[in-house]
Amino acid sequence: MKPAFLFITALFLSASLAGAQQLKIATFDFQKAFSEYYKTKDAEAELQARVATFKKEDQERTNDYRKLAEEAQKLQDGAQDKTLSEAARQERLKAFQSKVQEVQNLQRAIQEFRTTRGRELEERSQRIRQGLIEEITKVVVDISAKGKYTMVLDKTGRSLNGTPVVLYSQDLPDITDEVVRTINATKGTTPKAASVHP
């Protein structure tokens, strides 16, 4: 039984070594490719425009809120004005209470607007980012297949504890520049993927 076990082990090891000799590895800098991809820059510009629109709308709502709060303060002051008749003060008090309700409603609307719009912007950013990552990954896979690479390591990848996944890679081919050239070769020939509306 022992000779059979040794034979199987030797066979397994020789098959593993033969497979290891055919291993062809390349490295790739995903961060560089992502930052140099023209669609990334287009997407960032679009998102910045959306953020600017959000800030403008938010500022308009905040200005409306301040105006209402000032009106409420004036009505409260009028309701406490001892020079006015009791009936006039009661009328201003009712107007003040109504204005306070408007202020509170607007405050809730502003908070809801900020929460909703912030979530929309974050989701849009994640969707665009994921789409760009998929596009780059497809090009990496295509180039790897053409170059007959069995493995491509992202040299900018990080492990769960924050350390680099690839600590050392001497004399391994780097396909980053080829990927960047390929992904940017379509600039101006296709519509922007990042400008697709949700």
Find the mean pLDDT for residues 10-32. 71
Residue 139 lies in a domain: yes
Residue 8 lies in a domain: no
Higher-confidence residue of 37 and 188: namely 37
CATH of the domain at 32: 3.30.910.20
Helix (H), strand (E), coil (C) string for the chain: CHHHHHHHHHHHHHHHHHHHHCCCEEEECHHHHHHHCHHHHHHHHHHHHHHHHHHHHHHHHHHHHHHHHHHHHHHHHHHCCCCCCHHHHHHHHHHHHHHHHHHHHHHHHHHHHHHHHHHHHHHHHHHHHHHHHHHHHHHHHHHHHHCCCCEEEECCCECCCCCECCCCCCCCCECHHHHHHHHHCCCCCCCCHHHCCC
Long-range contacts (CB closer than 8 Å, 24 or more residues apart) made by 85-88: none
Residue 129 lies in a domain: yes
Considering the entire predicted model, what is its pTM?
A: 0.71
Residue 176 lies in a domain: yes
Residue 11 lies in a domain: no
Segment 124-140, tens digit of pLDDT:
999 999 999 999 999 99
* pLDDT for the residue numbered 190: 53
Of 34, 29, 55, 52, nearest to 128 by C-alpha is 34
Residue 46 lies in a domain: yes
How many domains are contained in the chain?
A: 1
For 105, the domain range is 22-195
Residue 49 lies in a domain: yes
Segment 73-95, tens digit of pLDDT:
988 888 888 888 888 888 888 98
pLDDT at residue 198 greater than cutoff 50: no
Residue 78 lies in a domain: yes
Segment 156-177, tens digit of pLDDT:
888 888 888 788 878 899 999 9
Lowest mean pLDDT among 21-30, 54-63, 110-119, 188-197: 188-197
